[in-house]
A and B are shown apart, each in its own frame.
Chain A
């Protein structure tokens, strides 16, 4: 990854760092479902606009907002109203998967 163009977008892989500030596991590998069109796919495949004033992740199918993340000085706001659910892959208890996350 390199610096994003101003008129372009990144993909959900760019959410990996900011989301790992909040969650104990990697959420970009999770399968999410869009509230608006029902498309299911990895968070990594969302289209991410930002970073200012926050990261806005849109559905690659219908372009509606699926997830919003704003990092303030002393808190983070995570808006998931465009997400039906997240299916998060987890290793079995006690099995490290080597992705930088231990078991939850």
Chain B
């Protein structure tokens, strides 16, 4: 189904959805797109008129849907690429995309082990692709999501995650500000959070952690301390833009 050669393809922006004041979902139409797995990412390349070009990797936010590919991009204030993608790019514009790439941090709908997703800030993006892939496939694999972020206004996909998803439990953790009446005080992820919102190690879950480096290391250390198998913990980390 897929060509072996990794090529740059022209992607046209067909839809924009704002997730937060500084993050938006870009729906791209990419002729010849070979399909992808939840958790994979793409490289996006921008080329200036003088020929200078630069590229960044972005996780795909939704499962394969023909030639439509969704990315959610967080604006990094001094970034070279994300301000353009989140503020300048408009419907009908084109960018270059290559992918999908990455075959390790992926979830396949035929998986039967329970799944724990741990997101820090914009690390939710590839994990949301897994949640959506589960739903798309009609999978009954039990999922739990622990989503850590600074404050409620930074939630991505808030409406969609509010809807009931049988077999998906969602736990929000806020590190700086909590909604009124919220029982858990603001604070970083702890072993108690992982005990409450995650799975016991005995259940043999597959664990996917995505977020800033410090967050990923903390979450990973907690899971190891709880007795989870290191081989069942998959991580993807990036800079300090998230939770």
Contact = CB atoms under 8 A, between A and B. Distances in A.
A98 B37 contact: yes
A17 B1 CA distance: 19
Interface stretch (A22-30, A62-70, A74-82): A22-30
Contact of A24 (B4, B79, B213, B240): B4
A17 B101 contact: yes
Contacts of B6: 17, 20-21
A37 to B, nearest CB: 16
Contacts of A8: 213, 239-240
Contacts of B16: none
B210 to A, nearest CB: 8
Contact of A10 (B74, B81, B238): B238
Of the listed residues B6, B73, B106, the one surrounded by the most CB atoms of chain A closer than 10 A to its CB is B6
A-side binding surface: helix, strand, loop or mixed? loop
Interface in B192-239: 213, 234-239
Contacts of A28: 101-104
B108 A98 contact: yes
Given A21-B6, A44-B104, A3 B99 contact: no
B241 interface: yes
Given A2-B58, A3-B79, A44-B104, A101 B239 contact: no
Range, interface on chain A: 20 to 34
Given A3-B80, A10-B237, A98-B37, A42 B104 contact: yes
A10 B56 CA distance: 12
Given A2-B76, A98-B37, A17 B239 contact: no
A43 B235 CA distance: 12
Given A1-B59, A2-B73, A13 B102 contact: yes
B140 interface: no
Given A13-B41, A44-B104, A100 B99 contact: yes
A101 B59 contact: no
B122 interface: yes
Given A11-B235, A99-B100, A100-B101, A1 B57 contact: yes
A2 B108 contact: no
21 contacts: A1-B56, A2-B73, A2-B239, A3-B56, A3-B76, A4-B238, A11-B237, A12-B104, A14-B57, A17-B55, A17-B98, A17-B99, A20-B6, A28-B101, A28-B104, A44-B104, A44-B236, A45-B235, A97-B103, A98-B1, A99-B37
Given A28-B102, A100-B2, 18 more contacts: A1-B236, A2-B241, A3-B239, A3-B241, A5-B239, A8-B239, A8-B240, A10-B238, A12-B104, A16-B102, A17-B42, A17-B55, A21-B6, A26-B104, A28-B104, A29-B104, A99-B103, A100-B37
Interface of A: 1-5, 8-14, 16-17, 20-21, 24-26, 28-29, 42-45, 89, 96-102
